[in-house]
Structure 1
Amino acid sequence: MTDASPAARLDLVRAAIARAGGLAGRSADQITLIAVSKTHAAEAIIPLLEAGQRVFGENRVQEAEAKWPALRARFHGIELHLIGRLQSNKAEEAVALFDAIHSVDRPSLVSTLGKAMAKAGRRPDCFIQVNVGVESQKGGCPVAELPDLLERCAEAGLPVAGLMCIPPADVEPAPYFALLAKLARRHVLPGLSMGMSGDFETAVTIGATHVRVGTALFGERS
């Protein structure tokens, strides 16, 4: 797939999503493909835009600010998702730039985002990142603290669209995806942001509504 054109890689990923969705009795239009464009220059992103992809994910506010205003001026209908950890001091910039924030994971950030949204009059969808693998090096709210964090989101006026996770590397991801899906059902949240290039098909069969795919679309990063 790495030698294929960006448009061909996009077709292959979309077909895989449709196949996995079909196995779970879901249609492809229930699953949003987020093309993870972090570290990729505008020149690498444009072929995917020309092929019709409109939803993209970035890890850092500063990098997104440098790339996306010009691309948005040229291509209409772009939806930008922040998928990396958000520092509280970048909350205002994130609210101004992104349509969804997938890494809400702590009370201090909830409070700062609530104030930034009220000030801007703009409310991007928020996904609560859950640390399903209990990994100290990763962001994410501990499972036991999720009810309290959701309560704080409601108080701060954050529009919570669902939950997000990054399972531990090099282990079977299905149990972690299943845990996130169970938590989403328990809290009556419709969105599940889970699955990346190596495991998005598994995530789709377990209920992912948003998959974050970089390498399968852009090729290996140098």
Structure 2
Amino acid sequence: MTDRRAELSRNLASVRRRIDDAAAQAGRTPDEVTLIVVTKTYPASDVALLAQLGVTDVGENRHPEAARKREDAGEGAAGLRWHFVGGLQTNKAGAVTRYADVVHSVDRPRLVDALAKGAVQAGREVEVLVQVNLEGRDDDPVGRAGADPGEVLALAERIDSSDGLLLGGVMAVAPLGADPDPAFARLAEISASVAASYPGATTISAGMSGDLEAAVRHGATHVRIGRSVLGERPALG
């Protein structure tokens, strides 16, 4: 455990330096960027260690793994803010609202409605982000999850008018194998259009281990980092 804590401490320091440097180069301050450590497939003991090391936000992308991990982390992770960052089936939305503080992957009206119903039943207010597809679907019929850019404002309106939900802003993943700068610049434009109608919705969740600098350069307020903090992911059984 001592060795693992030291490893996480070193990795966190390295990632925080990267965020600091990227913010400085963009004329921003590091405290404008929140680090979300994505702990999927890692044990609850890592979550507790991260909390000891000053991490305030952790991310998960699978239910029910996320629910089990939050429970298993117990008092060692008290006070952490839990982000659900993966694709979410409508029939699991209610369960996710019982433990997630923020859901990043809202991309369709039915999911908005399911989350709102679950949040109300749980007696909670859940922050949600509209996930934007920055790849398009013409050349890739499968594509990544996310709403088309033209659908974002309608989803934002639906979220804003739903009991139990708080519209936080937008999220996206840069296209695989492509320069992330144009994608994150486009996300910044979409964010600005959302914030023009909903001034409190200023979150831009963008950037992972390989492209956090580009995300910060284009205004990311939250970066989702897994591998660079936790190491290579364990093989799934």
Whether TM-score is above 0.5 comes out as yes
Q: Percent identity?
A: 39
Counterpart-to-counterpart distance in 2, 1:206 and 1:138? 21
Counterpart-to-counterpart distance in 2, 1:154 and 1:43? 36
- Partner of 2:217 in structure 1? 205
Q: What amino acid is aligned across from residue 156 of structure 1 in structure 2?
A: S
1:161 corresponds to which of 163, 168, 185: 168
- Partner of 1:172 in structure 2? 179
| CA displacement 1:65-113 (0-9 Å, x = unmatched) | 1111131322321111000011111112111101100001001001111
1:219 corresponds to which of 217, 222, 231: 231
Which one is further off, 139-148 or 211-220? 139-148
Determine helix, strand or coil for the equivalent of 1:212. Answer: strand
Alpha-carbon shift at residue 155 of structure 1 (Å): 2.6
| CA displacement 1:175-217 (0-9 Å, x = unmatched) | 1111011011112131100000000111011100000000100
| CA displacement 1:46-70 (0-9 Å, x = unmatched) | 3322222121000012001111113
- Partner of 1:115 in structure 2? 117
Determine helix, strand or coil for the equivalent of 1:96. Answer: coil
- Partner of 2:15 in structure 1? 13
CA contact (8 A) 1:58 1:83 kept: yes
- Partner of 1:58 in structure 2? 60
What is the TM-score with the length of structure 1 in the denominator? Answer: 0.93
1:145 corresponds to which of 147, 151, 157: 151
Which structure 2 residues correspond to residues 12-91 of structure 1 after superposition, within 5 A? 12-91=14-93
Counterpart-to-counterpart distance in 2, 1:58 and 1:94? 11
1:193 aligns with 2:205: yes
Determine helix, strand or coil for the equivalent of 1:176. Answer: helix
What is the TM-score with the length of structure 2 in the denominator? Answer: 0.88
CA contact (8 A) 2:44 2:72 kept: no
CA contact (8 A) 1:130 1:146 kept: yes
Counterpart-to-counterpart distance in 2, 1:220 and 1:69? 24
Q: 1:171 to 1:123 in 2, by over 3 A?
A: same
Determine helix, strand or coil for the equivalent of 1:109. Answer: helix
- Partner of 2:198 in structure 1? none
Q: What amino acid is aligned across from residue 117 of structure 2 in structure 1?
A: K
**Ranges in structure 2 where 5+ consecutive residues have no aligned partner:** 1-5, 196-200
CA contact (8 A) 2:47 2:77 kept: no
CA contact (8 A) 1:7 1:47 kept: no
CA contact (8 A) 2:51 2:76 kept: no
Counterpart-to-counterpart distance in 2, 1:112 and 1:182? 28
Q: What amino acid is aligned across from residue 177 of structure 1 in structure 2?
A: F
1:125 aligns with 2:127: yes
